[in-house]
A and B are shown apart, each in its own frame.
Chain A
Amino acid sequence: MPEPALTKERQDAPAAGAASTEAAPKPEKARSLWQDAWRSLRSNPLFMISAVLIVLLLTMVAFPGLFADGSPRDGDQAAHYLTEPNLGHLFANDWLGYDAHGRSVYVRVIYGARNSVLAGLAVTVLVAFFGTLVGMLAGYFGGWLDSLLSRITDIFFGIPFLLGAMVILTAVTERSIWMVITALAVLGWTQVARVARGSVLTVKQSDYVQAAKALGAGTWRILMRHVLPNAIAPVIVVATVALGGYIGAEATLSYLGLGLADPAISWGVDIDTGKDQLRNAPHVLLFPALMVSITVLAFIMLGDAVRSALDPKSR
């Protein structure tokens, strides 16, 4: 929680001030927003929990073989048809039971991390890049460009996110993870663009930007050196909070049969296949569902921690 950290800093501040007037030892270096944010992140238990979970997930994505041996695609249907989980056998192949094709649920859950995390990260990067670009151009240059870009943003914003992605994905015949990523990014950038535009509008008025202009700095230099670094914080907050949502959206699309399909391994696909046996073999659905939820939770907690670290009002 940010609150304990907040009260601590408040108590520290007068003490530090008193010390410097009395003895004037080493003057405390001025800290930038980013150093401040990093300090507040490190003291936030929420951030620590989410960081551990995310590092674990990323390792799972890079080296699934470390967590489970056995193939996620081969199953012995005759021997293992919908076998119940054997929760005593920690991390063994039969730990979480088997699905209707006799494939180990545990192995599939581990290998399924790759597509979900990839989708979440890639959509976030795309959305942050294009959203910031559009928002910055609209906010900085204003005038007709602003009107045009803002109306385009409004148009995309008017389309419901999941529904729009569903429509785009029915239109493509070959559904790879990259198509899912493109569909989500095409509809997701508007939120970032709106936030970036607002943020750039405030920064544009500030003295340092006016000073840089007066000194004859070029537009590109002003945008990259002065406007962007000072306007990016709200964008980062929005993007990290949205990351968890994109992972959920990928799973939802795969579950609806509009994202990835069976030869591909994804939690959404497994939930889709598991839903038909929900009554007699709930474990086939519950464990991938649990993994989606934990992953989304990890990124939402990260987003929350980043928000409280970067939002000056919360200090």
Chain B
Amino acid sequence: MGRYVARRLLQMIPVFIGSTALIFCAMYALPGDPVRTMMGEKSYDPAQIANIKADLGLDLPLWHQYWNYLTGLFQGDFGTQIASGRPVSEVIADALPVTIQLTLYSFAIIVVVGIALGVLGGLRADTWVDRVLLVFTMLLISIPVFVLGFVLQYFFAFELQWVTPTVQSSDSWGQLTLPAVVLAGLSLAYVVRLTRTSVAENLRSDFVRTAVAKGLPRRRVVGIHLMRNSLIPVVTFLGTELGALLAGAVVTEGIFNVHGIGNVIYQSLMRLEGATVVGVVSLIVILYLATSLIVDLLYAVLDPRIRYA
């Protein structure tokens, strides 16, 4: 087990370096110039711009800039936000809690509602309940996140006036509900479908028949025997989805004006600020790699046949 984790951690290093290098190149090979974007319409002195660039290390060749960035990253230094002069780590630390709150809220909705509906559909496969769920999930998959966001915002905030159209204070769970539901939508639909297929398939399996035959109560058959076996593909999906949720927050936070990581990325992209964008993306990549490792380790918990030597 320890050796397996160590090997996986070692394999992550090239993937992490590669992913961040790609984003870094895309960001810094830009024809645009963040320093000039910051100056805006003001008249500027070319020497002054050259000075700022030299201070930020933006005049070095690309590989050298990346090397500096990477070595800084390992010392916990994410670089400096050009517009404000604040360290990127501080900007991230300010925005991250809100996004984590929003993402975890969505994740909880996905897990609870998604698995519950999926099990419901799987146990009643090919009944009207199942068909209604299939149509519902198909609609949910078809509606892009931003469309769902605006439609729900229009109905719940403008027509019914149950909630405020944008999030006023991110401390309030109530105000975060609508954005969390919107963010959860797509993944929720996939979880329902995956759980449904998995449960329906396992319901016909030998081990369930045996469990029923030996007279176990239905609660135990479904709750223990069926669920443990059916949840493996769902757990895989949920693990890879956490990173996607963070990325999806860009759209959701924009619609509902949540001041989180998504907003930070969007603003930085508009200002062509490499350091901030690369910093946040690096963070998401790390998170994605970590969750995929945790998912693999969870397999062993769910399925005792899997052993990591």
* Residues in chain A within 8 A of chain B (CB atoms): 1, 3, 151-152, 154-156, 158-164, 166-168, 170-171, 173, 244, 248, 251-252, 255-256, 258, 271, 275, 278-279, 282, 285-286, 289, 292-294, 296-297, 300-301, 304
With A256-B254, A279-B158: A158-B142 Cβ-Cβ less than 8 Å: no
With A160-B247, A167-B277, A256-B254: A278-B154 Cβ-Cβ less than 8 Å: yes
Closest CB in chain B relative to A310 CB, distance in Å: 16
A252 & B19 in contact (Cβ 8 Å cutoff): no
Q: How far is the CA of A261 from the CA of B287 in the complex (A)?
A: 33
In the assembled complex, which residues on chain A have CB atoms less than 8 Å from the CB atom of B27?
A: 167, 170-171
In the assembled complex, which residues on chain B have CB atoms less than 8 Å from the CB atom of A286?
A: 151, 154
Q: Does B150 sit within 8 A of A, measured CB to CB?
A: yes
With A160-B244, A162-B248: A151-B18 Cβ-Cβ less than 8 Å: yes
A158 & B15 in contact (Cβ 8 Å cutoff): yes
Task: From B79-87, B94-102, B107-115, B264-272, give the one contacting chain A.
Answer: B264-272
Other than A167-B269, A289-B150, give 14 A-B pairs with Cβ distance below 8 A: A1-B126, A1-B131, A152-B18, A155-B15, A163-B284, A166-B250, A167-B23, A256-B250, A278-B153, A282-B154, A282-B158, A293-B143, A293-B147, A296-B144
Q: How far is the CA of A161 from the CA of B248 in the complex (A)?
A: 10
A289 & B281 in contact (Cβ 8 Å cutoff): no
Q: Does B93 sit within 8 A of A, measured CB to CB?
A: no
B251 & A256 in contact (Cβ 8 Å cutoff): yes
Q: Does B138 sit within 8 A of A, measured CB to CB?
A: yes
| CB-nearest residue of chain B to A152 | B18
B246 & A252 in contact (Cβ 8 Å cutoff): no
A304 & B150 in contact (Cβ 8 Å cutoff): no
A301 & B138 in contact (Cβ 8 Å cutoff): yes
Closest CB in chain A relative to B46 CB, distance in Å: 21
* Residues in chain B within 8 A of chain A (CB atoms): 14-16, 18-19, 22-23, 26-27, 29-32, 126, 131, 134, 138-139, 141-147, 150-151, 153-154, 158, 243-244, 246-248, 250-251, 254, 265-266, 269-270, 272, 277, 281, 284-285, 288-289
Q: How far is the CA of A304 from the CA of B31 in the complex (A)?
A: 42
In the assembled complex, which residues on chain A have CB atoms less than 8 Å from the CB atom of B269?
A: 166-167, 170, 258
| CB-nearest residue of chain B to A7 | B126
Q: How far is the CA of A300 from the CA of B139 in the complex (A)?
A: 10
A158 & B288 in contact (Cβ 8 Å cutoff): yes
B265 & A163 in contact (Cβ 8 Å cutoff): yes
Closest CB in chain A relative to B193 CB, distance in Å: 10
Q: How far is the CA of A282 from the CA of B151 in the complex (A)?
A: 9
B23 & A256 in contact (Cβ 8 Å cutoff): no
Closest CB in chain B relative to A155 CB, distance in Å: 3
- The A contact surface, by secondary structure, is helix
| CB-nearest residue of chain B to A250 | B144
CB pairs A–B below 8 angstroms (28 shown): A1-B126, A154-B18, A155-B15, A155-B19, A155-B22, A156-B19, A158-B18, A158-B289, A161-B244, A163-B281, A164-B22, A164-B26, A166-B269, A167-B277, A170-B30, A171-B26, A171-B29, A173-B31, A251-B146, A252-B145, A252-B251, A256-B250, A271-B147, A286-B154, A289-B151, A296-B141, A296-B143, A297-B139
| Cβ 8 A contact of A159, one of B146, B153, B285 | B285
B246 & A151 in contact (Cβ 8 Å cutoff): no
In the assembled complex, which residues on chain A have CB atoms less than 8 Å from the CB atom of B281?
A: 159-160, 163-164, 167
| Cβ 8 A contact of A244, one of B142, B153, B244 | B142
Closest CB in chain B relative to A47 CB, distance in Å: 14
A271 & B284 in contact (Cβ 8 Å cutoff): no
Closest CB in chain A relative to B16 CB, distance in Å: 7
Q: How far is the CA of A111 from the CA of B30 in the complex (A)?
A: 32
In the assembled complex, which residues on chain B have CB atoms less than 8 Å from the CB atom of A296?
A: 141-144
Q: How far is the CA of A289 from the CA of B155 in the complex (A)?
A: 15
Interface centre among A164, A168, A170, A292 (most CB of B within 10 A): A170
| CB-nearest residue of chain B to A296 | B142
| CB-nearest residue of chain A to B14 | A151
In the assembled complex, which residues on chain A have CB atoms less than 8 Å from the CB atom of B151?
A: 286, 289
Closest CB in chain A relative to B145 CB, distance in Å: 7
Closest CB in chain A relative to B299 CB, distance in Å: 17
B23 & A164 in contact (Cβ 8 Å cutoff): yes
Q: How far is the CA of A1 from the CA of B128 in the complex (A)?
A: 12
| CB-nearest residue of chain B to A297 | B142
| CB-nearest residue of chain A to B139 | A297
Q: How far is the CA of A296 from the CA of B138 in the complex (A)?
A: 10
Q: How far is the CA of A173 from the CA of B289 in the complex (A)?
A: 32
With A163-B281, A167-B277: A158-B30 Cβ-Cβ less than 8 Å: no
| CB-nearest residue of chain B to A3 | B126
Q: How far is the CA of A299 from the CA of B146 in the complex (A)?
A: 19
Q: How far is the CA of A47 from the CA of B73 in the complex (A)?
A: 51
Interface centre among B26, B126, B134, B247 (most CB of A within 10 A): B26
